[in-house]
Structure 1
Amino acid sequence: MALNKRGSRSIIVDGNRYRWLVRRKPTYSQGLTWSPMSFAVERADLAGCATLVVRLASPRPDNWMSAATSPVLPSLVASAIVQALERGWQPEFPGSPFLLDLGADEQG
């Protein structure tokens, strides 16, 4: 799964360049706050490699229920990348998406 370059943001972690992207529109379940906000990350310089999918505890800012939320900051993305690498994500090899589920106590 490759991320769309349009709308993605670049970040450098430990000397490697990554791209990250939050979906433009919420899914139906995200809009109703049934499922949390998520974002995807991949190595910017490698094509066709494993993608990291990060699920957060908070809902999307554009949810339809006006639930309280917090934005996805570059510091959170960098922290998620480091945690995923520590937990076995190998962004330089092809494979299935790696899911990192961050609970409320792990964010920030």
Structure 2
Amino acid sequence: MMVLNKKGSRRITVDGIEYRWRIRRKPSYVQGLCWAPMSYAVEAANANQSGTTLIVTSGQAHPTNWLGVAAAPIRPADVAASIREARNQGWDPDQAGSPFPLDRSAGFVAQP
């Protein structure tokens, strides 16, 4: 189980369910070098439950990468689409378990 830090997370309601999502403020080493795309985490906003976290791998570079590669922001519509796709693939945010990975990185080109 992984719990999102409330500080820096944003709320979103998708199909009547409230979630929190967060992008890591600083890129990881491989994201900073644009060897791997940016990822973000999503969980149900109900703080009383310890459910499964959704880990979404986007198809774009982290906006604060060290190479200055242009990156589009992750929009709430992107997060909502990821949540719906993960739910269709079996993600249950109320069920305890390991983080649920969702790979949306098709088309990402790592920098040499």
Share of identical aligned residues, percent?
Answer: 50
Amino acid at match of 1:22: I
Q: Distance in 2 between matches of 1:31 and 1:59?
A: 8
Q: Alignment RMSD, CA only?
A: 1.1
Aligned to 2:11: 10
Shift of 1:57: 1.3
Aligned residue in 2 for 1:27: 28
Counterpart of 1:49, as a letter, is: G
CA distance in 1, matches of 2:58, 2:17: 23
1:99 & 1:78 partners in 2: Cα distance? 15
Moved over 2 A (4+): none
Q: Is the 8 A contact 1:2 1:47 kept in 2?
A: no
1:52 aligns with 54
Q: Which amino acid aligns with 1:32?
A: L
Structure 2 CA distance for partners of 1:22 and 1:74, relative to 1, 3 Å: same
Q: Distance between the aligned counterparts of 1:58 and 1:104, measured in 2?
A: 9
Q: Distance in 1 between matches of 2:81 and 2:8?
A: 21
| SS at 2:71 equivalent | coil
Shift of 1:29: 0.9
Tell me whether 1:36 sits opposite 2:4 in the alignment: no
Q: TM-score, normalising length from structure 2?
A: 0.90
Aligned length: 105
Aligned partners of 2:37 and 2:105 also within 8 Å:
no
Cα deviation for residue 103 of structure 1 reads 3.1
The TM-score normalised by the length of structure 1 is: 0.93
Q: For structure 2, list consecutive stretches of 5 or more residues without a partner in the other structure.
A: 108-112
Deviations 1:21-51 (A, max 9, x none): 0001111111000111000000001531100
Mark the runs of 5 or more structure 1 residues left unpaired by the alignment: none
